[in-house]
Structure 1
Amino acid sequence: MNLLSKLSDHELINSFNAGNVNAFETLVLRHKEKLYTSIFFLVKDKYLAEDIFQDVFIRIIDTIKSGRYTEEGKFLPWAMRIAHNLCVDYFRKVKRTPTIKNSDDQDIFEVLNFTEESAEDKMIKKQSHNRVRDMLDQLPEDQREVIILRHYADMSFKEIAHITNCSINTALGRMRYGLINLRKMMVAKQISL
């Protein structure tokens, strides 16, 4: 397995195509954190993020096995594009789904708590992490998306522009305004991280 970790993404994909399942496992482990974190910050639900993450790799396997993979040397941006599209598809589907409202005009599924938080989840939720997430949620969607892709997925502005279908200058502008808005929120709430 150690030898596989030294291979490039392209070499791992070729090895996987040749029948080496461990090569694909190495590829998944290499990019798991960036992909999952980006999905999680877009959908804001741990279980949904896990489902979408799995769907991303199912699509990747299907594409590679069918011989349609052509993104040589650009595996992560390609995988991020698939993840982004699956998140967008999810939100489109949710918009078409009717909501059931209670007497206070709240979606009943947002009011009900179906799961009990585990000890692991409680440990993960540190105070500063929650503050940043709350502030990110208050940003306009386009600004939030660029900040998440840049800081959590560690993507270049060129990759972000490609994924979000905008120019590099637009992505840079969204990042700038998003950071300005975050600073304003921090000053207003007297938060220091």
Structure 2
Amino acid sequence: MKNVNNITDQELIHLYANGEENGLKVLLERYKSKIYTSIYMRVKDEFIAEDIFQETFIKVINTIKSGGYNEEGKFLPWVIRIAYNMVIDYFRKEKRSPTVINNEGYDIFEVMDFADEDAERKLVKKQIDVDLKKLIQLLPDDQKEVLIMRHFCDMSFKDIAEITDVSINTALGRMRYALSNLRRLIEEHNLSFQFN
């Protein structure tokens, strides 16, 4: 296999479909944090999120192995859509809605990779992450979802609109409201998110 960074998602899927197990392994490594985060932000429980994550990849494996994958060039949105449907199925079975995350849960900021920083800067960054996470949790669910998908999962508004089943304008509007509300919350809590 050539350098995995140079292999497209589509090539990896073809490799996996043709028996090369590393194809799926590379795809999983490439996207696992984004997919897991998208699940976790809906269920707010790391054990449930891990179960749904595993079920999602079982479905992905079965679909690819059976030749049913046809989302050329759109692997991540396709998997996140599967995960989203699995979350909906979970809540239908449980007949309950998601609860607000507590401070003991999975930290979405752990999926971000920070460059080498001195100890003080790391401590400041960690406190900012904690404060920002608390404020994000105060946003309405639809705004929180778009904000996380856009900034922490690096998704396009087109993909966000597809996954959340709304128009692109609605997704953009939710993002605008999320940022506006986040600014207001930062001011209300007298927080500063600037480094010296």
TM-score computed with the length of structure 2 as normaliser = 0.78
Structure 2 equivalent of residue 36 of structure 1: 36
Q: Secondary structure at the match of 2:23?
A: helix
Matches of 2:53 and 2:66, distance apart in 1? 20
Instruction: Tell me, yes or no, if the aligned pair for 1:5 and 1:26 is still in contact at 8 Å.
Output: no
Matches of 2:186 and 2:91, distance apart in 1? 29
Residues 32 and 2 from structure 1, CA distance in 2 versus in 1: closer, same or farther, beyond 3 angstroms?
Answer: farther
Which deviations, in whole Å up to 9, do the C-alpha atoms of 1:54-99 show, x marking residues without a partner? 11111100111111100011101101111222222223333359xx
Structure 2 equivalent of residue 25 of structure 1: 25
Residues 90 and 154 from structure 1, CA distance in 2 versus in 1: closer, same or farther, beyond 3 angstroms?
Answer: same
Structure 2 equivalent of residue 80 of structure 1: 80
Structure 1 equivalent of residue 171 of structure 2: 171
Matches of 2:130 and 2:2, distance apart in 1? 36
Matches of 2:92 and 2:156, distance apart in 1? 26
Structure 2 equivalent of residue 47 of structure 1: 47
Q: CA deviation at 1:128?
A: 2.5
Q: CA deviation at 1:3?
A: 2.8
Q: Which runs of 5+ in 2 are unaligned?
A: 111-125
Residues 96 and 174 from structure 1, CA distance in 2 versus in 1: closer, same or farther, beyond 3 angstroms?
Answer: closer
Matches of 1:176 and 1:89, distance apart in 2? 29
Instruction: Tell me, yes or no, if the aligned pair for 1:38 and 1:152 is still in contact at 8 Å.
Output: no
Q: Secondary structure at the match of 1:16?
A: helix
> Where do residues 175-190 of structure 1 align in structure 2 (5 Å cutoff)?
175-190=175-190
Q: Once superposed, what is the RMSD of the aligned Cα atoms?
A: 2.3
Structure 1 equivalent of residue 9 of structure 2: 9
Letter of the structure 2 residue corresponding to residue 141 of structure 1? D
Q: CA deviation at 1:2?
A: 5.6
Instruction: Tell me, yes or no, if the aligned pair for 1:9 and 1:73 is still in contact at 8 Å.
Output: yes
Residues 94 and 132 from structure 1, CA distance in 2 versus in 1: closer, same or farther, beyond 3 angstroms?
Answer: farther
Task: From the CA coordinates, give the structure whose radius of gyration is larger.
Answer: 1
Letter of the structure 2 residue corresponding to residue 183 of structure 1? R
Matches of 1:186 and 1:72, distance apart in 2? 41
Share of identical aligned residues, percent?
Answer: 53
Matches of 2:170 and 2:63, distance apart in 1? 31
Moved over 6 A (4+): none
Matches of 2:142 and 2:21, distance apart in 1? 37
